[in-house]
Each structure stands twice: as C-alpha cells, then as structure tokens.
Amino acid sequence: MTSNSVSSDRFNYALRLGDNALILSHRLSEWCGHGPALEEDIALTNVALDLIGQAQFWLGLAGELEGAGRSADDLAYKRDAGAFRNALLVERPNGDYGHTLMRQYLFDAWHVEVLAALTASSDPRFAEIAAKAAREVAYHVERSGELVAALGDGTPQSHARMQSALDALWAYAGGLFVGDEIDARLAEQGIAPAAGSLRPEWDRATGAVFAQAGLKPPASAFAHKGGHTEALGHLLAEMQFLPRAYPDAQW
C-alpha cells in the first residue's frame, strides 16, 4: 500500500462524511418556514445547522487531505452530482413530514455509531471532528427516535404514513452498511470502522424503536448502493445556483 493511495482513501472518506452532512442539511433546510408547527420548524433547522457545521469540518479536512487547494466551499459548490459521495438515503426527497422524520432517524441511528467509532480513529484529525459532532448527533437521534415512535404509535393515519416511509427508505438505509475497498483499507488501518460492522448495533437500536412504534421493517435485505438517484441533480441545481451564477458574490 503506497502512502499516496492511503491519503486518497482518507480524502474520499472525509468527502463521504461531509457530503452526507451537507446534502441532508440541505434537505432539512427545504422545510424552513414550512414545518407543521413552529417548534418542529425550529428543531429541524437547528439540526440542519449542526449538520452544515459538521460538513464544513469534514469538507475542510477533505480539501487539506487532497492538497490541491480546494476549500470546503469549493467542494460544496463546484462539484457536479457524479463527484458527490453521499449515501443515497440522504438525497431522497423529503416527502411528507413523517417521511422526512423516518429518513432522519434511519440516518441518525447510523450517524451516532459511525461517529462513536471514528472518535477512536488512529487519525487524530478524524477523531477530533467526530468527537465534536457526536455530542450534537446524540440530540438528533434522541429527537428523531422519539418522534418515529410517537407517530408510528399515533393515529391510523400517522401509523400508515410512517410504515410507508419505512418501506420506501429501508433499502436506501441498507446502503449505509455496504462497504467497498476504501472502507476495507481504512478499517485495516484503524482509521474508520468497516461499513458492515455498524449494522448489528443499528439493527438493535432501530429495532427497539420500531417495536415501540408498532412498525415492521421490510424482510428484504436488498440494499441500494452506488451512483446517485435523479433527486441529487435537482437538489444541487438549487443549492449551487448562486455561487455558480455569481462566482464572486460576497455576502
């Protein structure tokens, strides 16, 4: 293993973490001013704010690791869909509020675990960002888990919506645990956890919430992985419009 490909693995991994946070943050910000209640609107945008802060750290690190002079903003605004490394789950459209909360919970439950594992990374740059983000994400998963349980165990209408969200998102969530050769090499060096190693604890934690909610995860183990869905291009068209159209715009 040359040190060159190790640093490119780290760059790609930092991009994945940064892109997950960035894309999900953008999805959540689409709810700003449209939440079903003021508290929900505020909560969701606060979660979005934490995620955008985390995205800045991860993409900043990715830029450093790449060493080509790209800043976090360059990486966020000047890449096309094909160069994004986020999980498919986070780019899925918001749907109804229940769908948004289900996507959030499936992600949060994975996010707390990956960050906990990264806190022990052999690369201190990954460990320090993870330690910072983990404290924020502990609040995210508490909230999304409580809401999934409450809505699943709510009215027939809310229950039906949560079940259909779970059915629709299940295979995308599964993609979080399908690793590739980058994950494998980083795991070997203790830099990042192997993707599949996070699944048992995720199954246990989400299983407990689904049981409380009266929701049934699909039996299928099929997982979507790789590439992007059509949804990402539309999201980027909105997110990147301003810096692309007015490259020197100042706040």
Q: Which residues bind another protein (CB under 8 A)?
A: 39, 42-43, 46-54, 56-57, 124, 127-129, 131-133, 135-136, 139, 142-143
Closest CA to 173 of 137, 207, 221: 221
The rounded distance, in Å, linking the Cα atoms of 100 and 108 is 12
The DSSP 8-state label assigned to residue 81 in this structure reads: G
For another protein, the closer CB: 44 or 162 = 44
| Residue with Cβ nearer another protein (123 or 183) | 123
Please identify, using beta-carbon distances, which residue of 88 and 115 lies nearer to another protein: 115
- Could you tell me the maximum CA-CA distance found in the chain, to the nearest angstrom? 57
Of 124 and 247, the one with the shorter C-beta distance to another protein is 124
Q: Report the nearest approach of another protein to the CB of residue 27 (Å).
A: 15
- Nearest distance from C-beta of residue 218 to another protein, angstroms: 30
The first and second tokens of residue 185, run together, are 């090499």
Query: Quick one: 69 or 124, whose CB is closer to another protein?
Result: 124
For residue 190, how many other CB atoms are within 10 A of its CB?
Answer: 11
What minimum distance in Å lies between the beta carbon of 104 and another protein? 13
> To the nearest whole angstrom, how small is the minimum distance from the Cβ of residue 59 to another protein?
12
Residue 217: name the closest of 67, 106, 64 by CA.
Answer: 106
Q: What is 154-220 written as a DSSP string?
A: S-HHHHHHHHHHHHHHHHHHHGGG---HHHHHHHHTTSS--GGGGHHHHHHHHHHHHHHHT----S-
Minimum distance, C-beta of residue 179 to another protein, in the bound complex (Å): 26
Distance of CA 9 to the CA centre of its chain: 19
